[in-house]
Every structure is written in C-alpha cells, then in structure tokens.
Amino acid sequence: MRAFEDGPEPLRPGSLSEFIEMVWWPVVKARCQPNTVKTYKSVVNNDMDALQLLLLADLRLPVLQSWVGSFESLAAKTVCSKWGVLHSVLEMAAKMGKYPHRDHELVTVPRQARKKRRALNPAQVRKLLKVVEGRTVEGPYWAASHLGVRLNECLGLVPSDVRLYKDRAVVTLRRGRHAHGVSDRLKSKASGDERRLVIPREWGVKLLSWHKPGTLFLFTNRAGAPVQPARMAKEITAHCKTAKVPVVTFHDLRHACATNLRQAGVAESMIQDVLGHSTQAMTEDYFETRDNELLAAFSRLGSKG
C-alpha cells in the first residue's frame, strides 16, 4: 500500500505487496463503501509491514499464525477484523492461482467471549420506564421491552405500521430502518421481509401516542428529527443507574420481553415469531429462567422417586 501511494521502493514480483497494489486494492476501491476502504487501508498500512515484501508462496501457516498472534493484546473482535482483511487478500490470490496454498483456511483466530445476556423483570422494566417518562427514549424503550422490537425496526416505525381494530392492534415490522435520515435495509436481512405482531388495542393506542403531528416517524426527538441509534446506546446506562436496576443494553430489553413472555407461559415457538428469529435455538438463548425451570422440573421428579 505504501509503495502504491508513495512509490519510494519497487515492488517485489510475486510479493504480497505487489498483489495488493496491482490486483486486490483496485477491486476493493471499486466495490466497497468509502468507510470500508478506509478501514482496509488502515490495516494494510499499519499492520502488514512485516508481511508486505514476503512472497505469496512464503505465506505459510506458521507465518500467518504468528502474525495473528502478534495482536494477542487486542480484543478478539479487533483481531478478527484485521485477519479478515488479510484473509480476503489471500482468498482472492488463491482463486486466481497466485497463492499456491490454502494455509489461510487453517489459521486459528481468537474467539469472542459470548456476552452474558441480561433481562430485566417486569418490575425493573417499570422502574426504568418511570425514569425516562416524557423523554425521547421512552417510546423505544417501551417498544423493545414489551414487543421485542429491534432498535432499527423500532426507529423505522411509521404511524401507518400500527393499525387499530375494534379489539386489537396490528404492528407491521419491516426490515428497513431510519438511522441517519436515510432509509436502509437492515444488515443481513432480506429486502422486503416483514413480520406482524397482534397486540392489545390499548397498546396500539399507546404506540401511536408517541407520534408528533407533522413528523414522518413514530419515534422522533423533541425537534421532530429521527432518533439516532447512538443515543440509545449512550443513554441507557445512565438511565439504568438512575432507576437502580441492573445496567443493560438496548438490545437486552428484547431479552426482557422474551424472558417475561416465557414466564407468562407463552410457547417458545410463539416467542420465536415475536422476536423474528429464524431458529428456535436463537430464541432459547434469550431465556434467563430456563436453567431454573429445568432444575425445578428434575427436583419434582426426584421427589416422586
């Protein structure tokens, strides 16, 4: 990359640096978004110096594994991101016959520690909502904790997505969002995909009560502008502390919805539909009470033995 930009020294034929400059980099710039290009550029410039002049044929497993291991002090997610850039280079080279090995498929990268999910119980949810009453975040907090709505789905709701009927309300959650004033497709979600929630009519009325006349979206700030996702992530910690409840993330409010539905006796398949999960295994990961229920069940069996 540096040779490509500054040209102080010639490229070594067959080297990683030559392949990046002559083949990989032009493709990346043509296909990727500016922010992605900037990220890739940073990794190539700052992290690949030790590999740049090596021949592609010399990038065997020990060399690659040692390079990944040099980032052991960094977070697993960061290491995976850096390795992902080099992996994409080598994968392209292999497909083109420039890299005669498949050693990049054998590299072991650190696994991210699974974050423990937290779920507020109904009383704690009420305390949190009491603290934010009248604030911009009240509606989104309520929608996530009561309906299991994702943040991007929540911020993309428009009044027409909530239909009121005589004895119920129907909420349509689309795979679109409005994060920064521009409608986009949700990451990794199929375009046009949507799901419906049938809720009590009074809940539908409550959702619509947050809409400000003359604004496009259901949840907006005091100026009528779309609520920014970063605000949700930034403020919820302080709100939890004020409410004296366990500190959770906005996404954890979905966990609260799942756990509380489970405690209320709702079938797991139904909760899967509510949360919009593609598999039941994903839904089960949201249940805080499953272990306790299993223990109680086996205890009851033991008492009858």
User: What confidence score (pLDDT) does residue 107 get?
Assistant: 92
**What does the alpha-carbon distance between residue 245 and residue 234 come to, in Å, rounded to a whole number?**
16
pTM over 0.75: no
Which region, left, alpha or beta, applies to residue 76 given φ > 0 means left and ψ of -120 to 50 means alpha?
A: alpha
Q: What is the pLDDT of residues 96-146, one digit of tens each?
A: 999 988 899 999 988 766 566 677 888 999 999 999 999 999 999 999 998
Q: Where are the beta strands (DSSP E) in 117-272?
A: 162-164, 169-174, 176-178, 183-185, 194-199
Are 65 and 87 within 8 A, CB to CB? no
Q: How many CA atoms lie within 13 A of 51 on its CB side?
A: 29
* Domain annotation for the chain: domains and CATH numbers: 2-105 (1.10.150), 122-295 (1.10.443.10)
Q: What is the mean pLDDT of each run of 10 residues along the chain (305 residues)?
A: 46 89 92 86 90 92 93 85 92 92 90 68 92 93 89 86 91 62 43 74 93 90 82 86 92 84 75 67 58 60 54
Distance CA 155, CA 178 (A): 6
> Residue 146 is encoded by which pair of tokens?
């009561």
Q: Report the pLDDT value the prediction gives residue 182, as an integer from 0 to 100.
A: 45
> Which residue bears the tokens 């978004």?
33
Q: What is the pLDDT of residue 160?
A: 92
